[in-house]
Structures are given as C-alpha cells and as structure tokens.
Amino acid sequence: MSQEKRQKTSKGKEKASYIKRTRASLTGAQKQEVCLKKLQKPTPKNKELAKEYDVSQGMISDILKESEKWLALKLDSYEASLKKTSQIKFSTS
C-alpha cells in the first residue's frame, strides 16, 4: 500500500508523489496488546490503533477477527515472540 504525498511542481501545480510503505509485522505479544486495548476501551478506532503500531487498518482488523487466538496466547511462550506463524503442510502421498 502506498501513501500519497503532495508536492508543488515548478509551475505551482500540486503533484502527488507516492512513498512506498514497507511491510510491517507485529509479534504475538503486540497482537495480544492490540486485542486487550480494544477490549478495555472500545473507543479507540482501528485507524488510531493502526497509527500507534505503524501498521495498516486492515491488519488491525485481521488481528481483531482472530482475537480469541491472540488473547489465549501466553506471553512467556515462544509463539509470543514470533512475528509470523505458519502452518506445516504435510503431504499425504
């Protein structure tokens, strides 16, 4: 996703230039923190949480959809420090 930044050209017109946004990821502990914040105070909007953690609103929405998983996570576990979880695919052949 790109962010738009307005700049003036030499003729005085505004021109949109795009800043490439790097891919962001949160640890399991941070995702749990997002869910807890939303539970304690439903007032922070996803947009505000996204800005606080420097991620997209869609990522916040996805985290909140899986809030049961993140709230059940133990902070002292190995999974809490991971930024990415993957499922192991077994072949049946």
93 within some domain: no
The pLDDT, as a whole number, for residue 27 is 83
Please check whether residue 34 is in contact with residue 64, taking contact to mean a CB–CB distance below 8 angstroms. Answer: yes
Q: To which residue do tokens 């990522």 refer?
A: 59
> What band does 61 get if pLDDT is binned at 50, 70 and 90?
very high
24-49 confidence digits (pLDDT tens):
788 888 888 999 998 888 788 888 99
- The answer to whether residue 2 is domain-embedded is no
Q: SS3 of 77, please?
A: coil
Binned at pLDDT 50, 70 and 90, residue 65 comes out as very high
Instruction: Give how many domains the chain has, as a whole number.
Output: 1
Does some domain include residue 70? Answer: yes
Residue 8 lies in a domain: no
CA 56 to chain centre: 5
* Residue range of the domain that includes 49: 29-80
Check residue 2 and give its pLDDT: 43
Helical residues (DSSP H) of 1-93, grouped into ranges? 28-40, 46-53, 57-65, 67-71
Helix (H), strand (E) at residue 14: strand 14-20
Taking the model in full, what pTM does it have? Answer: 0.61
